[in-house]
Amino acid sequence: MHTRAETDDGRAALDDLCHVYRSPVLAYLRARGYPSSDAEDMTQAFFEQLLVRRMHAVADPERGRFRSFLLTSLKRFLANRHQHDNSLKRGGGQAPETLDAGLDCADAVDLSPDAVFDRDYALTVVARAFARLREEAAASGKADLFAAASEFLLESPDASEYGELALRLGLRRNTLAVAIHRLRSRLRDLIRNELSLTVDDAGALHAEMSALHKALAPNRTASGGSAAP
């Protein structure tokens, strides 16, 4: 049985996660065909319902993967809404726009809605880790190095780019290479830390890391397949 403190902590944890991962929900709805304004309203309604119904007992990161929980809950929300809309139509009422509206998200045309959700979720995780790394670099007096090398943290630079950047920063090429390697390694740690807030064990964390790599793979297809980056 949950104590009041545990219940409040669970609600707060879910509230925080919902705030952080609002973007993937919005991206999914737009990929399903809702215009931006409708998607915004539905996203708000979805999270209000999620929180008002106090679903933290299911969504608690200690109990499983938040990413899966969020997408499953969203699909259930849409199914219930669709059923309600159909009931309104049968009763002669005015129903909102259905799921078959034209796509309003040009960059998601070649991806399924599930793939759009996963990609945006992964980008959110990376962006938060990136922001933390920027803060750490600034705190250690390496803000300039981070700003110059940030474009190489997600994709390795080639030899010529290393040379050009080293010259611009007044560093030896090998010194710069080591610095970038350390930043990349720390970014991976921060991404793992971010994902660890949404899972319950090491196995789930490994699965979420794999899902993140898959979602961000450049050759991902509409069916969701990809090669490891």
Higher local confidence (pLDDT), 221 or 202: 202
Domain-terminating residue out of 45, 75, 110? 110
**Whether residue 202 is found in the same domain as residue 121:** yes
pLDDT at 21: 93
Higher local confidence (pLDDT), 12 or 42: 42
Structure token digits, residue 183: 């930043």
Domain assignment present for 28: yes
Nearest to 211 by CA among 108, 126, 132, 131: 126
Domain assignment present for 82: yes
Domain-terminating residue out of 72, 87, 110? 110
Average pLDDT over residues 77-94: 65
Average pLDDT over residues 54-83: 76
Domain assignment present for 102: yes
Domain assignment present for 222: no
Question: pLDDT at residue 2 above 70?
Answer: no
- Structural domain boundaries enclosing 131: 111-216
Q: Phi, psi at residue 14, to the nearest 5°?
A: -65, -40
Rounded (10°) angle between helices 173-196 and 113-139:
120
Task: Record the pTM.
Answer: 0.77
